[in-house]
């Protein structure tokens, strides 16, 4: 993945998570992957189009998903969730949207033009994601609620 794209994604993930959750966020080591990878349980996906093609995937366990959604909801004086319901899904979708949105804004300021597609949520057990001939950058984020893996696969249009 183009070097210039890395920082905006890492930074905005860090910023947004610290901001909305009001918790300490630790970034793990970045690494690259291209084989089919198992998903943790719940994944939000945002597509990218424009000068580039690709997608950003936010992968976490159900438990982490519930805790994060609850933390976000209670901070806005709403009720916490106990399961992955519509409210939880909507909240996590919004989180994905916020992070990707900020990253894209940063990239726009650097002169790269991307568009986002509306986010989608996948839930289920034993799922794997694979996109052949796409190398993904993994940004692991450690939160008190658990771990979110941000999986960014972007390539230049050729």
Contacting residues toward another protein, per CB under 8 A: 1-4, 6-7, 30, 32-34, 132-135, 137, 155-156, 158
In this complex, which beta carbon is closest to another protein, that of residue 3 or of residue 76?
Answer: 3
Tokens of 157: 């249009």
In this complex, which beta carbon is closest to another protein, that of residue 10 or of residue 40?
Answer: 10
Among 124, 108, 114, 111, residue whose Cα is nearest residue 152: 114
In this complex, which beta carbon is closest to another protein, that of residue 4 or of residue 19?
Answer: 4
Among 135, 111, 96, residue whose Cα is nearest residue 12: 96
Q: How far is the CB of 95 from another protein (least distance, A)?
A: 25
How far is Cα 24 from Cα 35, in angstroms, rounded to an integer? 31
Q: How far is the CB of 42 from another protein (least distance, A)?
A: 26
* Cβ–Cβ under 8 Å, residues 143 and 64: yes
């Amino acid at each position: 993945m183009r070097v210039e794209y890395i920082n905006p994604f890492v930074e905005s993930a860090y910023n947004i998570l610290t901001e909305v959750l009001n918790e300490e966020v630790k970034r793990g080591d970045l690494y690259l992957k291209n084989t089919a990878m198992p998903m943790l349980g719940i994944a939000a996906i945002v597509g990218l189009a424009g000068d580039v093609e690709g997608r950003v995937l936010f992968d976490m366990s159900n438990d982490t998903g519930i805790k994060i959604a609850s933390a976000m909801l209670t901070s806005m004086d709403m009720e916490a969730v106990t399961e992955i319901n519509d409210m939880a899904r909507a909240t996590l979708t919004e989180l994905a949207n916020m992070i990707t949105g900020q990253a894209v804004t940063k990239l726009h300021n650097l002169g790269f033009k991307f568009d986002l597609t509306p986010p989608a949520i996948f839930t289920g057990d034993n799922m794997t994601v694979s996109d052949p001939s796409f190398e993904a950058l993994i940004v692991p984020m450690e939160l008190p609620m658990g771990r979110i893996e941000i999986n960014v696969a972007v390539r230049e249009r050729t």
